[in-house]
């Protein structure tokens, strides 16, 4: 029995009703007599009819599909967000087209347009360098786009984040209070506002609060990779830093291991605080103290926000700030 495509028309004929009626029962419309509903359902079952979502999408202009743009799925931070997004999407009957951007501005524009051509009902964007070009593209479309765990300088797009500046400020302050005169700030690319305008600002404010002058020799701009972290020990030590505030968990894990491998005791001789509270924080030794972010929730709330936008529901606050916390583990005194 080679499976020919069964269409709504086949079902209609077989059940002696019109296509409209079949459509109604498939879509749960109440305007159908229970008897006919049952009859149609039986035929659907018998014929093994499965509605064609593409045709439906064309007719209704809704695809129940959302696009998700992410720098890298293998990064635990983003995969945690993705998981939250996916679960809420499933809850609301949406599917997800997942695309990797490698934080490459050009590719971001390309995939954005691909997603739009596929008529996704909405988009969740992760990526921390929103270029002017990208911002233009965002503006050009009516499709709602929300940023998850990603900062846009101009708060024009809806977004879900934590208060990165305050969190860093608080952690750096605690490091200083514990006697660290020279706290390094180890971050990802400074062309990303999340690093330069938020986290670094928090760092500076902590210094200012206690009257320590800012020293740019203590700022280490990196690529956020584990490997880079492992190589940072000599530079950190020669800068006379005794602690580091780090903006990424893999990077921080690299630093912790690099220190330990070089015979520097963490936290005894060097304290490390990281930023994302991924499961990696528990897996390295010593376990890493971290700013805690509700990663799953950031994704989940972003997706929930997007569903509202897609349904033209009213939004109380389009730039959501979720609470952060501080988790003391063993990489700090």
Q: Contact positions toward DNA, by CB under 7 A?
A: 5, 7-9, 16-21, 23-24, 26-27, 30-33, 35-37, 49, 51-52, 55-56, 58-61
Q: Which of DNA, its own copies, none does 17 bind, CB closer than 5 to 8 A by kind?
A: DNA
Pick 55 or 91: Cβ nearer DNA: 55
Q: Which of DNA, its own copies, none does 141 bind, CB closer than 5 to 8 A by kind?
A: its own copies
Prior bond to 225 cis, omega within 30?
A: no
The Cα 96–Cα 73 span in angstroms is 14
What the block records as the tokens of 175 is 């490091």
Angle between helices 132-140 and 105-117 (to 10 degrees): 10
Residue 98 interacts with its own copies (CB under 8 A): yes or no = yes
Q: Where are the alpha helices (DSSP H) in the chain?
A: 8-15, 19-26, 34-47, 53-60, 76-91, 105-117, 132-140, 164-177, 193, 200-210, 226-230, 233-238, 249-261, 280-283, 295-310
Residue 23 interacts with its own copies (CB under 8 A): yes or no = no
- The candidate with the shortest Cα–Cα distance to 128, out of 97, 161, 79, 171, is 161
- The candidate with the shortest Cα–Cα distance to 122, out of 142, 93, 149, is 142
Q: Assign 264 to helix, strand or coil.
A: coil
Residue with tokens 């830093």: 241
Residue 231 interacts with its own copies (CB under 8 A): yes or no = no
Pick 61 or 93: Cβ nearer DNA: 61
Pick 23 or 257: Cβ nearer DNA: 23
Residues 237-266: x where in contact with its own copies by CB under 8 A, - otherwise, as a string: -------------x--x---x--x------
**Residues constituting the chain:** 333
Q: Assign 154 to helix, strand or coil.
A: coil
Q: Which of its own copies, DNA, none does 45 bind, CB closer than 5 to 8 A by kind?
A: none
Residues 185-224: x where in contact with its own copies by CB under 8 A, - otherwise, as a string: ----------------------------------------
Q: Give min distance, CB of 320 to its own copies, in A.
A: 22
Instruction: Report the interface residues with its own copies, using CB under 8 A.
Output: 3, 48, 50-55, 57-58, 63, 65, 68, 72-74, 76, 79-80, 82-83, 86-87, 90, 95-100, 113-119, 140-142, 226, 250, 253, 257, 260, 279-280, 282-285
């Amino acid at each position: 029995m080679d499976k020919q495509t069964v269409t709504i028309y086949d079902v209609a004929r077989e059940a002696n009703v019109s296509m409209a009626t079949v459509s109604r029962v498939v879509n749960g419309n109440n305007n159908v007599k229970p008897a006919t509903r049952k009859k149609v359902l039986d035929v659907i079952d018998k014929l093994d009819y499965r509605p064609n979502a593409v045709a439906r999408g064309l007719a209704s202009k809704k695809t129940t599909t959302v696009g998700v743009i992410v720098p890298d799925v293998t990064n635990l931070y983003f995969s945690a967000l993705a998981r939250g997004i996916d679960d809420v999407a499933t809850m609301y009957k949406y599917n997800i087209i997942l695309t990797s951007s490698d934080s490459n501005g050009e590719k971001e524009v390309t995939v954005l347009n691909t997603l739009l051509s596929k008529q996704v009902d909405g988009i969740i964007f992760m990526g921390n360098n929103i270029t002017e070009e990208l911002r233009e593209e965002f503006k050009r479309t009516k499709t709602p786009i929300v940023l998850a765990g990603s900062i846009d300088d101009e708060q024009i797009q809806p977004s879900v984040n934590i208060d990165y500046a305050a969190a860093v400020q608080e952690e750096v302050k605690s490091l200083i209070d514990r006697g660290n005169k020279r706290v390094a700030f180890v971050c990802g690319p400074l062309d990303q506002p999340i690093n330069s305008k938020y986290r670094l600002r928090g760092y500076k404010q902590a210094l200012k609060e206690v009257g320590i002058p800012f020293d740019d020799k203590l700022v280490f701009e990196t690529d956020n990779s584990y490997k880079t972290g492992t190589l940072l020990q000599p530079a950190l030590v020669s800068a006379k830093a005794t602690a580091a505030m780090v903006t990424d968990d893999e990077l921080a894990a690299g630093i912790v291991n690099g220190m330990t491998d070089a015979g520097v005791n963490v936290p005894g001789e060097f304290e490390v605080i990281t930023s994302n509270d991924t499961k990696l924080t528990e897996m390295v030794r010593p376990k890493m103290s971290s700013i805690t972010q509700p990663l799953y929730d950031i994704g989940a709330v972003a997706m929930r926000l997007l569903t509202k936008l897609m349904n033209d529901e009213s939004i109380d606050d389009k730039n959501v700030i979720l609470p952060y916390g501080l988790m003391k583990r063993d990489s700090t005194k």
